[in-house]
Structure 1
Amino acid sequence: MSTIGSFEGFQPVALKPDGDDQPSERDSLPMEEGSSGRDSVPSRMARQPSVTESVLYPNPYTRPHCTRKYFVTRPGAIETARQDLKNHVDETMGEAIQGFWLLTEVDHWNNEKERVVAITDNTLLICKYDFIMLSCLQFQRIPLSSICRICLGKFAFPGTSLDKRQGEGIRISWGKSEEQSFLSRWNPWSTEVPYATFIEHPTKNSSEKFSEICKMSAFIAKLVSAVQNAHKTSSGPGRGQEVMVSTEPILMETYTGLMSFIGNRNKLGYSLARGSIGF
């Protein structure tokens, strides 16, 4: 007579991956005569990793539910933003858009801000877009001929900063940082900063569509080409000059960083679903 706690008579079984409710071809294969169930278990379990890999990882875009909280991923949102930006360029600038990207701007106080960026024939257009109300809130136009330097590299921070950013970015300069006034340097809402810094948007791995419009390498290649062409055709004092493209650390002068530490941790610079309030 067997008792509770006795393990006699139990046989090991092969584990199947979660969600795999369909019978596999392996399960229907008959066992050869003379072979025991115990001998067949190792061979069945040895082939299990390949099945698990094919079932659990069917595509390169991981955890799509984590990116659904961004309003930009809602059906039709990015298409509406693209059309609104195109209408604005047609009505006010009369130029053709050469490229369209969804990026994150990092301001001079290290605050992340969701931005729609377009390159036209003569202008770099940076748009603050509200993906909740689907409307353009603010435009910043930088003539391509005024861009003098494009820097790519990892971020560098003072030792006392609380929010030290990892990874790489791009800084586009159309003036010298030394010429920036004291008030604009220490004003977190200043629009007189002579450069713009960008990183890739958090939704870059959500789908193939966002992988294309969030790709930093494509943006850099198009920008460098457009700036070089603008310098050649410009009639201003910078005519014929070559844009300087360098690879070096990007200095973020946030000596404390408490404001950006709170804002970036809570994604305050993005159009984001933040849940319901109440019970």
Structure 2
Amino acid sequence: MYRSTGIFTALVILIGALCSPAAAQDKTITVFAAASMKNALDDIDAAYTAKTGVKIVVSYGPSSGLARQIEQGAPADVFISADTDWMDYAIGRKTINEPTRANLLGNSIVLIAPKDSKVDNVNIGPGFDIAKLAGDGKIATGDVKSVPAGKYAKTALEKLGSWQAAEPKFAMAVDVRAALTLVARGEAALGIVYSTDAKVEPGVKVVGTFPADSHPAIVYPVAATTTAKPEASNYLAFLRSTAAKTILEKYGFKFLVSPST
């Protein structure tokens, strides 16, 4: 009788432990997010963990590389892309739970130079001669064939009639944050990055903003993967919350959805 009672007590203790806040802290959600999201998302994730006890593990990188990693079976619960093309790609590969998709954020692309550069206040419009402005220096952006920031940059320069002359001067980076670093270090005379990137790097200054009609609208979609843990739905809801909106707007993102409480 005593032995049975002891076993029952042990089971009660075990069940209680599983339901405790400490058990919640053992839960993790893995997020694959565009590199340009890093500073804002780090703050959001810290707030989410403080609120729920669920740890967020983030892999930052180019949207192209992240979408391909998910396709190859990387264990991601949530994907945040810096453009709709790579989210569409992932959906086409059946790796995304399409009903969970939402176009969460907007952004803009800007021309940057090192903080001590003599270049300043550039008017970007038709015929903009970025090649001449760069002189003997390089122009940094993400790979124009795959990285969203680079794709937006090339499209804008093509529309403005500037791409052909400028193409030989381009230094293609693995992602937009790598391009930002090249300019901050003075290894590139100019760079084309998101306005939100320029805002968090004290080593650069914004010298011009590309017209919104020179490139497709910059949209960041978010979605759960088809292999996502159940907890991912609560995380996606938090990304749409007023608390997340406040953080994202502080970093310069445009919030595209109606925030939940």
When the two structures are superposed, what TM-score results if normalisation uses the length of structure 1?
0.25
Q: Which has the larger radius of gyration?
A: 1
Structure number with higher relative contact order (C-alpha < 8 Å, ≥ 6 residues apart):
2
